[in-house]
Amino acid sequence: MSFQSLGLSSHLSKAINNLGLLKPFEIQSQTIPLILKGKDVMGIAKTGSGKTLCFVAPLLQKIQHQDYEKSRNIKVLVLVPTRELAVQIEKTYSDLQSALRRPVPCMAVYGGVSINPQMKKVYGTEILIATPGRLLDLIDQKALSIENLEYLIIDEADKMFQLGFEEEMNRILDMVPAKKQTIMFSATLNDKVQQIKKTLAITPEIIEVKEEALELESIEQVAYRVASESKGPFLRYLIKEQHISPVLVFVSSTRTAENLVEKLKKNGINALAVHGKKSQGARMDNLADFKVGDADVLIATDLIGRGIHIEGLPYVINYELPRSPLDYVHRIGRTGRAHEHGKAISLITADDEHHFKIIQKKMGRQVEILETDTIDLKGL
């Protein structure tokens, strides 16, 4: 099956192939034809399954044939929970622009940066990718209108409520017109996501691609039993002696992230961090530097890590375990994407062992824990 066989133009299909995507994933093959036909769609699939392209490609194909008149009226609104995801989606739109009959103005807006440049630039935008709070700020400032919206996309709908956007979402949904095409994607189908469907008074086509244990087959998982005081030296051992890089390292707090970066740099390892206390510009710069190979290690907290997409990332390390088994799966899912092999490593202290057993039980997979007491960490 090819992207063209789903109804996309030969030009768009070729542009998608040039991004390294040679054939559709299951969620793409099932939703793209429906979206092209103008159906309301609710797609349920795990993070990293290719959901972004499901709405980006068909909407670009449809909009390029529509008349364009510069105004404050947005044609397409893509609501997302994080700034990182907004930037990622904007890049996907940008990557496919060369395949269009005409340019389709697209812009991502989010908090954490000055609103003034966004207010000036948003005029004439057809596709707006926005976090809820910044969208409402721009509407309140009369910088844009969603009253004539033709397409509403809600990406990672379940996380909108997990991250506390319920009040903003309710206000936005009250503003959108009744007549529009609605597309929602979510990792889970919970009560809050069902509530959106009810509020919008839609009966969408529900496409669910269930996550199976086999989907973790492309990720080799291993754990090491370490003493708390040896975690830092053992991490450096993995990076320097076992050549585990480039690697995304997950920690539980911004303080740990910064401390870890400082210690790695003192030991000659080029490391960067992305977390909520860094400015948006610094976070995006650090992520970009890591992607192009200017740093061997990227330290991330869970909230920021969920918006990170790095093609061909070979390694993920859990320096500290996450609170929930679901977060563990999200973390290790940053590697082994698009059917590529990846390796996920967890550092387990005595205090972590019970929690790690729970994670393994929920995941339905046993992870071997290797001993480290014979490894020489002197000088690390």
- Domains in the chain, CATH or no CATH each: 4-208 (3.40.50.300), 213-371 (3.40.50.300)
Per-residue pLDDT tens, the chain, 380 aa: give them. Answer: 789 999 999 999 998 887 767 788 889 999 999 999 999 999 988 766 678 999 999 999 999 999 999 999 999 999 999 888 899 899 999 989 989 989 999 999 999 899 999 999 999 999 999 999 999 999 999 999 999 999 999 998 888 877 788 899 989 999 999 999 999 998 877 777 787 888 888 889 999 887 544 457 788 999 999 999 999 999 999 999 999 999 999 998 889 999 999 999 999 999 999 887 777 678 878 888 998 899 999 999 876 665 567 778 899 999 999 888 878 888 898 887 766 788 999 999 999 999 999 999 988 889 999 999 999 998 88
Return the DSSP state at 204: P
Give pLDDT, residue 360.
Answer: 93
pTM for this predicted structure:
0.62
* Cα(354)–Cα(276) distance, integer angstroms: 29
CA 94 to chain centre: 17
Return the DSSP state at 73: B
Give pLDDT, residue 175.
Answer: 93
Beta carbons within 10 angstroms of residue 312's beta carbon? 13
Let me know if 374 is exposed, middle or buried by CB neighbors in 10 A (0-12, 13-18, 19+).
Answer: exposed
* Cβ atoms 181, 38 nearer than 8 A: yes
* Cβ atoms 251, 261 nearer than 8 A: no
* Cα(141)–Cα(72) distance, integer angstroms: 12
Mode of pairing for the β-strands spanning 41-44 and 205-208? parallel
Give pLDDT, residue 256.
Answer: 93
Q: Where do the DSSP E strands lie in the chain?
A: 41-44, 76-79, 106-109, 127-130, 151-154, 181-186, 205-208, 219-225, 247-250, 271-274, 297-300, 315-318, 342-348, 369-371
Give pLDDT, residue 214.
Answer: 40
* Cα(207)–Cα(54) distance, integer angstroms: 12
Partners of 183 in beta bridges = 41, 153
DSSP-derived secondary structure for 123-153 = TT-SEEEE-HHHHHHHHHTTS-B-TT--EEE
* Cβ atoms 175, 132 nearer than 8 A: no
Between the CA atoms of 152, 56, 124 and 77, what dihedral angle is there, to the nearest 10 degrees? Answer: 20
